[in-house]
A and B are shown apart, each in its own frame.
Chain A
Amino acid sequence: MTSTTASSATRRATDAPRMGAGRAAGRKRSSTILVTAILVVVALYFLVPVYWVLVASTKTTQDLFSTNGFLFSGHFALWDNLARVLSYDDGVFLQWFLNSVLYAGVGALLATYLAAAGGYALAKYEFRGRNAVFGTILGGVLVPGTATALPMFLLFSQMGLANTYWSVLIPSLVSPFGLFLCRIYAQATVDTALIEAARLDGAGELKIFHTIGLRVLTPALVTVFLFQLVGIWNNYFLPLVMLSDSRLYPITLGLNNWLSQVDRLPEFYELTTGGVLLSIIPLAIAMIVLQRFWRGGLTEGAVK
């Protein structure tokens, strides 16, 4: 958003003549120091746990308990620990990681496409029952995911779907909130005249959606995709209810499984800290890189 940088520059510029130039600069410097100091302290709060796990995963189990948690110990055991994380139980950690990638990646991609198609249909066509359909889906936004998970398990057990990849993947394909966002965005941005022109050229309705609709909707689709990706990746209750075979676990369930064994076998501390570190790194990087897309999508949604 270039307008904000411009306006803050003008804000600074209009500041100067109001007060004496020197006093203004002094005040600005002290308020900059104060604000930055607050921001640094808060940043420490958010980063300390991650720093701790980074340190902890370089230690042996013995050092973990005998040395200060914020300081590296003499013995650097990071590579040993990570090797054990990756090789334990025939590489089950890698399996969990790939499961998470499958659930979140495939789930979010298909969910975005389905939400786009539905949202576009509700925004750009006038048909009987449209408001009833939209109202029902909107109600779905407010239903807590944990409320539907238990009955869904009963339903899926009867259909023979419980404890399969499908039992986690199928619920991940539905994003009422994504459809809501796509509908608003399609109403505001997809030009009806463009659709009319394509119709006159003889394009079919589905082709119009796939060529014009999806292209215009792209910024909203990025937002929906990211919401759904993080939502599925972070989900715990649904896979916990659905899955009993540990080979199907996503990474969240798997790591909790390891943690629950530390009381009996302290070596699981090393596996858990190493596993937590490995699972955080890709996501932390993704959050930092993708942060501007979140902002972009949200702002456009709010402005338009």
Chain B
Amino acid sequence: MSSTPAAAPPATSQEDREIRTGRSRQAGTSRGNRSRAAARAPWILLAPFLALFTLTFVLPIIVALISSFTKVTRSGLFGEKGVSSGFAGFDNYAQALGDANFIASIGRVLLFGIVQVPVMIVLCTILALLLESASARWPGFFRAAYFMPYGVPGVIATILWSFLYVPGLSPFIDIAGSMGITLDFLGPDHVLWSIANIVTWSYTGYNMLIIVAQLKAIPGELYEAARVDGASPWRIARSIQLPLITPALVLTTVFSIIGTLQLFAEAQVLKTSAPAIDSQYTPNLSAYSTAFAYNDYNVAAAQAVLIALAAFILSFVFLRLTNRKSS
């Protein structure tokens, strides 16, 4: 899982608060060149961002779409008689979706997401509530300890954990072995959950921090009113804190879903020590292998488009479901 942008503050009524600068400016100064400068200014400010955004988002997406609909035919045994490309229709998509391994990889990350995302969200919510409760000692220390893994890149986190998974190196396997239990972290049945553990380790503290931020924004009077009414800590968590941190929970869940579909580094790095992970273990690994091991950029582009679409659809469905529930 690579970087996921995180906490967007809930976009509320800020949109309405805006003042129409254009109009008031015309009232203030009547000098034409001045208002022309003001009309140019936003574009000058935006230009560098828009140029780079075009280069790194718009064009690549166009390139991906075009090449996913393109078929490259090589004449001659090794393409030495020239390469021609033409419109392929949905051939590349059909090939990607007809690939049982690619479909299996999507099923695998979906299973992963159904288990790992709820576990992580529940865990980080509980940790945030405990840290913000009056009973917690040294909350600053614990918050820092939980957040620290976020600064460890996914690759390095995976290298770290792989040492704890490998027989011969892992103290866990040694300790369990001395008690007569055989642990197999890297076997075909367990390796997916070993990856889930790495992802949980990396991102729980980060998601917790987002929820803590939202908890701190709850006005103190609400707590006092609840205390006066004799509410227990459990009741306060359920009736005040949980409803008010729902936006943060929705947000972290959506970003976790997108992150799950992008799963790559953990599986690719663990592949070295776990034979159970093949070159198509996750959808992204599949697209990467298709592009660089099989040199089939067109099918890889189709796979990339499908992954992005799946992320869109899942996030959208989740947002719709949560909206319906709250209204």
Chain A residues close to B by CB (< 8 Å) = 1, 3-4, 6-8, 10-12, 14-15, 18, 28, 31-32, 34-36, 38-39, 42-43, 45-50, 52-53, 56, 64-65, 68-70, 114-115, 117-118, 120-127, 130, 133, 136-137, 140-148, 150-152, 154-155, 170-171, 173-177, 179-181, 184, 187-188, 192, 195-196, 199-200, 204-206, 209, 227, 230-238, 240-241, 251-253, 255-256, 259-260, 262-263, 269, 272-273, 276, 279-280, 283-284, 286-288, 291, 294-295, 298-299, 301-304
A287 touches B224 (CB 8 A): no
Any chain A CB within 8 A of the CB of B98? no
Q: Cβ of B103 < 8 Å from any Cβ of A? A: no
Q: How far is the CA of A295 from the CA of B147 in the complex (A)?
A: 11
Q: In the assembled complex, which residues on chain A have CB atoms less than 8 Å from the CB atom of B115?
A: none
**Residue of B with least CB distance to A34:** B135
Q: What sequence of 0s and 1s flags, for each residue 260-295 of chain B, a beta carbon within 8 Å of any chain A beta carbon?
A: 011011000100100000000000100110011000
Q: Is the interface of A mostly helix, strand, loop or mixed?
A: helix
Q: For A209, what are the chain B residues with a Cβ–Cβ distance below 8 Å?
A: 41, 45
Inter-subunit contact A65/B213 (CB<8 Å): no
What is the total number of residues of chain B having a CB less than 8 Å from a CB of chain A? 126
Q: How far is the CA of A141 from the CA of B53 in the complex (A)?
A: 11
Number of A-B contacts (CB under 8 A): 358
> Which residues of chain A are near B46, meaning CB under 8 Å?
117-118, 121-122, 133
B190 within 8 Å of A (CB atoms):
no
A279 and B156 contact, CB distance less than 8 A: yes
CB distance from A26 to the nearest CB of B (A): 13
Choose, from B3-11, B77-85, B89-97, the stretch at the interface. B3-11
Q: Which residue of B lies closest to A184 (CB)?
A: B14
> Chain A residues near B180 (CB, 8 Å)?
none
Q: How far is B94's CA from A301's CA once the two chains are assembled, in angstroms?
A: 44
Residue from B146, B157, B174 within 8 A of A42 (CB atoms)? B146
Q: How far is the CB of B40 from chain A (nearest CB, A)?
A: 8
* Contact A126–B37 (Cβ < 8 Å): no
Which of B45, B163, B204, B292 touches A118 (beta carbons < 8 Å)? B45
User: A145 vs B291: C-alpha distance in the bound complex, in angstroms?
Assistant: 16
Shortest beta-carbon distance from A35 to chain B in Å: 4
Among A1, A147, A286, chain B packs the most CB atoms within 10 A around the CB of A147
Within residues 229 to 261 of chain B, which ones have a CB less than 8 A from any CB in chain A? 230, 248, 258, 261
Q: A237-B284, A284-B152 are in contact. List 16 more A-B contacts (CB 8 A).
A: A7-B220, A117-B49, A127-B42, A144-B308, A148-B56, A170-B56, A175-B5, A180-B8, A184-B14, A209-B45, A252-B155, A256-B155, A283-B151, A288-B147, A295-B212, A298-B213
9 A-B contacts (beta carbon < 8 Å): A43-B145, A117-B46, A117-B49, A121-B43, A150-B301, A205-B41, A230-B151, A233-B153, A291-B147
Q: Given contacts A150-B291, A170-B56, A179-B49, are A39 and B136 in contact (CB under 8 A)? A: yes
Contact A114 B48, beta carbon cutoff 8 Å: yes
Contacting pair A184 B11 (CB below 8 A) = yes
